[in-house]
Amino acid sequence: MKTTIAVLFLITATASAVEWNDLRVTWKSQSVDPCHLSSYYQMPRTKVDAISEGWVEVSGVTSLNLSVYCREGDGRVCLEYDTYGNIAAIQAAILYSDIADLQSRHNFSIYNRYQSKTIFNEKYLTSTAYFISPDDIAAGGRCETDGFTGTDGIWFETTDGITEIPRRVAYLGFAWREGNCVPGMGTHYFYDVGTYSECRFIQPWTLLAQDGQLIGFVLQGFGSTTYKNRNYYEDFPASAVKAAFPTASKCVIDSFTEYGVISMHIYFVSKPWEIQC
């Protein structure tokens, strides 16, 4: 009997595990884009695939033991590969010229999760998430991935070092506030965005979870964006932010209303459009 119970427990635990077996960028409503022609873009998770899809290597973007690839002339989304050619990180960015006029009123440069980088001779404010630990990156990365984008968590690059985010949201720090679940997105976790939060402390990442496990994150900010050949950003009104996080401060909602919403969803799971609440 004990053996049977143990086996059943193992089967249940395995079935409930969320597998990080993909890498997708950009949310859009199923009713607007049912075939995902302009949403849920699948990212190449090996350097070989990136090259075959026309991504080009860029230099001077990272000091780590990684190679960086972007779509030609576009630094808004770049992928970083380890020495084995496997995915190790994703870098999401905002073209500086898009938000330059806001700097006097809302200075992005004070956020430690943004780094200023020049890509294709244009200035970007970038934010990077690693799928393997800095120690693993230094050692060369993963010789085998078993089809997984990552396993243990993610690591955000900041100007003050690396911030580790656990895979299970139960282990998140107290500063992460649970918001609402949105179909096709997941449950949102905002960093220190409470009723009394000041806008100048808003950080660029929101976490996404399903069944208590991390499944992705969102690059977010105030302003409006441009794009080149592929629009990675999403078109949201400020009311959508309020729907995802109803206790957000008035300052946050007012700023999104006045300046616009910058939003880019990034997923580690396949078929995120099937996420239910």
Q: Each residue of 241-273: pLDDT tens digit?
A: 888 888 888 888 888 888 889 999 999 999 999
Give residue 180's pLDDT.
Answer: 93
Question: For 210-250, what is each residue's pLDDT tens digit?
Answer: 999 999 999 988 889 999 999 999 988 888 888 888 888 88
Name 219's bridge partners. 205, 264
3-state secondary structure of 5: helix
277 residues of the chain, pLDDT tens digit each = 444 334 333 333 333 578 999 999 999 988 899 999 999 999 999 999 999 999 999 999 999 999 999 999 999 999 999 999 999 999 999 999 998 887 666 666 666 678 899 999 999 999 999 999 999 999 999 999 999 999 889 999 988 889 999 999 999 988 898 999 998 999 999 887 655 456 665 678 899 999 999 999 999 888 899 999 999 999 888 888 888 888 888 888 888 888 889 999 999 999 999 999 8
- SS3 state of residue 128: strand
Please answer whether residues 65 and 138 qualify as being in contact, where contact means their C-beta atoms are separated by less than 8 angstroms.
Answer: yes
Q: What pLDDT is stored for residue 112 in this prediction?
A: 67
pLDDT the model gives residue 7: 38
Q: Which pLDDT belongs to residue 252? A: 82
Q: In Å, how far are 106, 252, 255 from 195, measured between CA atoms?
A: 19, 9, 14
Q: Are 155 and 165 in contact (CB under 8 A)?
A: yes
Query: For all residues of the chain together, what is the average pLDDT?
Result: 87
| pLDDT number for residue 104 | 61
CB atoms within 10 A of CB 18: 17
Helix, strand, coil abundance in the chain, percent, nearest 5: 20, 35, 45
pLDDT at residue 95 in the model: 95
Note the pLDDT of residue 38: 94
Residue where the block lists tokens 């949310």? 27
Q: Give the containing element (helix H, strand E) for 252.
A: helix 250-259
First to last CA, the chain: 35
Structural contact between residues 201 and 192, judged by C-beta atoms closer than 8 angstroms: yes
